[in-house]
A and B are shown apart, each in its own frame.
Chain A
Amino acid sequence: MLKDITLGQYFPVKSFMHALDPRMKLLLTLLYVVALFLVSDFWGFLVAAFLIGLVASFSKISLKVVFRGLKPLVFIIMFTAFFNVLYGGGEPLFPQIEWLSWIKTDGVKNAAFMIIRIILLILGTSYLTYTTSPVMLTDALERLMRPLKIFRFPVHELAMMMTIALRFIPTLIDETDKIINAQKARGADFETGNIIRRAKALIPILIPLLVSAFHRAEELADAMECRCYHGGAGRTRYKIYSLGWRDWVALGAMVLSFAAIIMLRIY
């Protein structure tokens, strides 16, 4: 079922990671991503992996669940790795075997680096979305981007659009599942036939889905207007975020790891 896709989903449990300030989490993730690109040897990755391990144990979401979310991306990862091998330099890895001569030591090393980097990248960002509700996430984004308002950048509107889009993803997935089932019950067949047949088979799903999406959008717009929504100007906040001891501890751990990675790079 579509519902079983876990990538980018929020898991509402209570944990240290969930209790962190979303702004801090966003910042930490940013630092983490930068750090990953600064890593130049396997020891650096070890530090990052250690960090992920810490996050996993403090979030009550097991690595197993998160790894399952990687499944849809296996193809992309393999693809990247393949091209890294293809264009890598260095000595052939198997000098005796003729037809494997294109596999070179540097290429394999680069590919391994790339795979580890992508996986660590996805794991890290997954933990951000797993432990932060979409609303909090866009909220944090809005706050952090606030300086851009000077340049007349529509920060609030953008954040609101993202909130709404994220909010409706599960609803639409739910709806798609329901419509697929309803058409299946009338004997619709989505799994056999050539490409044209299969594309045609999507019509009974897409039309009801679009109709209901437009319906929802209209209703939502009405409901928002009824509650006097008129953009970001003058809007006050219900939830005021403040940094607590957890946030400083997390920041400390991140800064230490960051420093370690830079040290490893220099020496």
Chain B
Amino acid sequence: MIKTEHLSHFYSVGTPFETVAIEDINLHIKKGEYVGVIGHTGSGKSTLIAHFNAILKPTSGKIFIDGKDLWSEDKKQRIQTRFDVGLVFQYPEHQLFEETVYKDIAFGPKNMGLSEEEIHRRVEKAMRFVGLSESVLEKSPFDLSGGQKRRVAIAGVMALEPKVLILDEPAAGLDPMGRDEILGRIREYHQETGSTVLLVSHSMEDVSKNADSILVMNRGRCQMHASVPEVFERADELEKMGLDVPRITRVFFALQDKGYPVSRNVFTVEQGKAEITRLLKEGGKNHA
């Protein structure tokens, strides 16, 4: 679905401010995959994903979407890929501008040149996905709470019905309930539509709960791209990059090191609870 070859991006080339944001990225993201993108602040996550829908032009290297080289196509085609690869930026609520929530969500579909009925269908569907109620449709987006604004903004991109949905820290600045809710909605969207999803996040917990694979960025380079358990096996390397595996996973690693027969693939407290209960039951049997 998405492939990059030696992708690099420098900002402010030729001025004293020149910075290398990403360097020599080679990756391959499969169709239908849910990828968590993780890395410390300034590691190049946002820069990387802004290449996937042709917002940023690579300084060098290539990007292929569905096998087509993005920057060898003409401009019209490239704009078309923006509808195939939907990108929700960091703090997307700052992009709202219409008089009503409905119109704002409809902005993208309208740009696609769809019919009124189709636009209506898509707005409704997107609203359902993010869990907004009908009652806000005619409200001004500026009168909503922060969390609601965030949802409207996400719905605005979902309404494009992209084959790839990319979200840059969609849960940043929300309370724990709001986080889980938004992430849960995105997971549902992934399962229901079968689309490819990229979730940028600072939280290993969030990523491990949702994603199939993890892409670890460090100082502008892609350090790892593997399944969640495989990445967590390299906990020591992660720590050197200022990242951490979920605390519950660490606990279970430690338990296993102490000789307890527990699984290493425990990423959430619920899984941990199940694992401990299992162990206690079996342990009881052994002693009997």
Q: Which of A13, A68, A178 contacts B89 (CB 8 A)?
A: A178
A179 to B16, CA, bound (A): 25
A190 to B17, CA, bound (A): 28
The residue of chain A having its C-beta at the shortest distance from the C-beta of B162 within the complex is: A185
- In the complex where A61-B16, A178-B89, A204-B107 touch, is A183 in contact with B95 (Cβ < 8 A)? yes
Stretch at the interface among B78-86, B238-246, B256-264: B78-86
Q: Which of B14, B17, B111 contacts A186 (CB 8 A)?
A: B111
A61 to B55, CA, bound (A): 30
The reply to whether the CB of A184 lies closer than 8 angstroms to some CB of chain B is: yes
Query: Do residues B16 and A181 form an inter-chain contact, with CB atoms below 8 A?
Result: no
Q: Which of B15, B86, B97, B112 contacts A65 (CB 8 A)?
A: B15
B52-81 CB mask vs A (1 if < 8 Å, else 0) is 010100000000000000000000000100
Query: Do residues B97 and A203 form an inter-chain contact, with CB atoms below 8 A?
Result: yes
Nearest CB in chain A: distance from B87 CB, A: 4
A61 to B16, CA, bound (A): 8
A3 to B18, CA, bound (A): 12
Nearest CB in chain B: distance from A62 CB, A: 9
Query: Do residues B95 and A179 form an inter-chain contact, with CB atoms below 8 A?
Result: yes
Q: Which of B12, B79, B94 contacts A182 (CB 8 A)?
A: B94
The reply to whether the CB of A212 lies closer than 8 angstroms to some CB of chain B is: yes
Interface magnitude class on chain A: 20 to 34
Interface of A is mostly: helix
Query: Do residues A207 and B107 form an inter-chain contact, with CB atoms below 8 A?
Result: no
Greatest chain B CB density within 10 A among A175, A187, A203 is at A187
Interface residues of A in 195-250 (CB under 8 A from B): 203-204, 207-208, 211-212
The reply to whether the CB of B39 lies closer than 8 angstroms to some CB of chain A is: no
The reply to whether the CB of A188 lies closer than 8 angstroms to some CB of chain B is: yes
Q: Which of A13, A68, A181, A189 contacts B79 (CB 8 A)?
A: A189
Interface residues of A in 149-196 (CB under 8 A from B): 175, 178-179, 181-189
- In the complex where A178-B94, A179-B94, A208-B96 touch, is A184 in contact with B16 (Cβ < 8 A)? no
Contacts of B17 in A (CB 8 A): 11
The reply to whether the CB of A6 lies closer than 8 angstroms to some CB of chain B is: yes
- In the complex where A187-B111, A211-B142 touch, is A65 in contact with B14 (Cβ < 8 A)? yes
The residue of chain A having its C-beta at the shortest distance from the C-beta of B86 within the complex is: A185
A186 to B106, CA, bound (A): 10
A181 to B89, CA, bound (A): 9
- In the complex where A6-B15, A65-B15 touch, is A187 in contact with B82 (Cβ < 8 A)? yes
B35-57 CB mask vs A (1 if < 8 Å, else 0) is 00000000000000010010100
- In the complex where A187-B79, A187-B83 touch, is A208 in contact with B108 (Cβ < 8 A)? no
Contacts of A98 in B (CB 8 A): none
The residue of chain B having its C-beta at the shortest distance from the C-beta of A69 within the complex is: B15
Query: Do residues B111 and A185 form an inter-chain contact, with CB atoms below 8 A?
Result: no
Interface residues of B in 95-141 (CB under 8 A from A): 95-97, 107-108, 111-112
Greatest chain B CB density within 10 A among A6, A186, A203 is at A186
A181 to B92, CA, bound (A): 11
Query: Do residues B89 and A182 form an inter-chain contact, with CB atoms below 8 A?
Result: yes
The reply to whether the CB of B170 lies closer than 8 angstroms to some CB of chain A is: no
A99 to B180, CA, bound (A): 77
Query: Do residues A185 and B89 form an inter-chain contact, with CB atoms below 8 A?
Result: yes
A184 to B80, CA, bound (A): 11
The residue of chain B having its C-beta at the shortest distance from the C-beta of A206 within the complex is: B97
Nearest CB in chain A: distance from B213 CB, A: 24
Contacts of A68 in B (CB 8 A): 14
Nearest CB in chain A: distance from B254 CB, A: 43
A170 to B16, CA, bound (A): 16
Contacts of A3 in B (CB 8 A): 11-12
Contacts of B11 in A (CB 8 A): 3
For this complex, 25 residue pairs linking A to B, each with C-beta atoms less than 8 Å apart, are A4-B15, A11-B15, A65-B14, A178-B89, A182-B89, A182-B94, A184-B55, A184-B82, A185-B53, A185-B86, A185-B87, A185-B89, A185-B157, A186-B95, A186-B108, A186-B156, A187-B79, A187-B111, A187-B112, A189-B79, A203-B97, A204-B95, A204-B97, A208-B96, A212-B94
List residues of chain B with CB under 8 Å of any chain A CB. 11-12, 14-17, 50, 53, 55, 79, 82-83, 86-89, 92, 94-97, 107-108, 111-112, 142, 156-157, 160
Top 8 nearest A-B pairs by Cβ distance? A187-B111, A182-B95, A186-B108, A207-B97, A185-B87, A204-B97, A182-B89, A181-B55
Known: A65-B15, A183-B95. 20 other contacts (CB 8 A): A3-B12, A13-B16, A65-B16, A178-B89, A179-B95, A182-B95, A185-B88, A186-B82, A186-B107, A186-B111, A186-B156, A187-B83, A187-B111, A187-B112, A204-B97, A207-B97, A208-B95, A208-B96, A211-B142, A212-B94
